[in-house]
């Protein structure tokens, strides 16, 4: 049996979609007891694109040596692909 999971890549999210995904990332990080990661996404609603980009970059760097949180990394990478739409 193949246990590989596939994630649908979406590249047409608008600001509300991006902010919604970041809210999901924040909630997921909180549920996994990762308060440092969750705090990176507090107050992103209405934040300038450059600041969101920096927070995502910081989060991805923080997650780089944590393969057990691959799902969060994948969500952030999808958000990163959509930042051009902000």
pLDDT average per 10 residues of sequence, the chain (86 residues):
60 92 96 96 95 97 96 94 93
Domain assignment of residue 54, yes or no: yes
Is residue 2 in some structural domain?
no
Q: Are 59 and 37 in contact (CB under 8 A)?
A: yes
pLDDT of residue 5: 59
The C-alpha atoms of residue 17 and residue 13 are separated, in whole angstroms, by: 5
Q: Does 6 map to a domain?
A: no
Specify the pLDDT at position 32. Answer: 95
Q: Is residue 38 part of a domain?
A: yes
Q: Is residue 75 part of a domain?
A: yes
| pLDDT at residue number 83 | 94
Rounded to the nearest 10 degrees, how much is the dihedral formed by the CA atoms of 42, 69, 84, 52?
20
In a domain, 59, yes or no: yes
Assess if residue 58 is contained within a domain: yes
Give the chain's domain count: 1
**Model pLDDT, residue 11:** 82
The confidence score (pLDDT) of residue 74 equals: 93
> Is 10 part of a structural domain of the chain?
no
pTM: 0.86
Predicted pLDDT of residue 2: 46
């Amino acid at each position: 049996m193949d246990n590989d999971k596939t994630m649908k890549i979406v590249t047409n999210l608008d600001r509300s979609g991006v902010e919604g995904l970041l809210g999901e990332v924040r909630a997921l990080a909180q549920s996994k007891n990762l308060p440092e990661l969750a705090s990176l996404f507090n107050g992103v609603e209405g934040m300038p694109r450059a600041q969101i980009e920096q927070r995502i970059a910081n989060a991805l760097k923080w997650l780089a040596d944590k393969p057990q949180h691959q799902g969060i990394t994948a969500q952030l990478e999808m958000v990163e692909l959509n930042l051009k739409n902000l």
